[in-house]
Structure 1
Amino acid sequence: MFGLFNRSKSISTKELETKLNSRVELLDVRMPGEYRAGHIPGAKNIPLNKIEQYQGKTNEPVHVICQSGMRSRKAASVLKKNGYDVVNVRGGMMQWNGKTRGGSK
């Protein structure tokens, strides 16, 4: 029950796509090779194993994405503990149908 209060907000990939029309802080927590193979334009690659080193603005929401949503959920938990307003993107790149850069989806 108490775990429910520690969960980060989450949105679908469709919701993220509409948010990208405005400036959004988006972290792609996949490994660099996965990121290079295809990522959302404007996303910053900070692999899950380096997420503790992230130093962004704490007054703006940080959106996190990975391949399926598992790593981004872990990253969201770490970022939330570090004081960030975090939004996890459910389904990750597997559900993403928008524009990508770097490779083909």
Structure 2
Amino acid sequence: MSAVNIVMLITLVGLLVWRLRPVKGVRNITTTELKNELGNKDKQYIDVRTPGEFKSKSIKTFKNIPLDQLSTKASSLSMEKEVVIICQSGMRSTKAAKMLKSLGFTKITNVKGGMSAWR
């Protein structure tokens, strides 16, 4: 393997690790922990999957705001209440958490494993 290939591989792995790292200041919970928190009126529950994914399987308490619409619809969310975010596997909800953090939200919770872990 050439030095260029090794550098490219290391860079690719580094970028992947960087993208998957937890967002600083965002709480991460399991779906088991989520079950204990559902119904809390002081929290906003957001599912960032596509409308089709949401329609096929969703949690009653969650509102669907697809990730690609979140930045424009974030103004409909209260910055005073905690935002609990879920997606299919945890990748899009991590992106959503980063986005909300950059928009000034401070109370953000990401559901690890997403709907894939929901039973």
TM-score range for the pair, normalised by the shorter chain length: 0.7 to 0.9
**Between the two proteins, what is the percent identity of the paired residues?**
40
Measured on the aligned residues, the alpha-carbon RMSD in Å equals 1.6
Q: CA deviation at 1:60?
A: 1.0
Q: CA deviation at 1:21?
A: 3.7
Report what 1:100 is aligned to.
none
Q: Partners in 2 of 1:5 and 1:33 — Cα distance?
A: 27
The structure in which a higher percent of residues are helix is: 2
- Which of 6, 10, 20 is the equivalent residue of 2:38? 20
Larger mean CA deviation between 4-13 and 43-52 belongs to 4-13
Report what 1:80 is aligned to.
101
Aligned length: 95
SS of the aligned residue for 1:25 comes to: strand
TM-score of the superposition, structure 1-length normalised?
A: 0.83
Report what 2:115 is aligned to.
93
Report what 2:8 is aligned to.
none
List gaps (5 residues or longer) in structure 2.
1-20
1:46 paired with 2:65, answer yes
List gaps (5 residues or longer) in structure 1.
98-105
- Which of 64, 74, 82 is the equivalent residue of 1:61? 82
Q: Partners in 2 of 1:35 and 1:11 — Cα distance?
A: 20
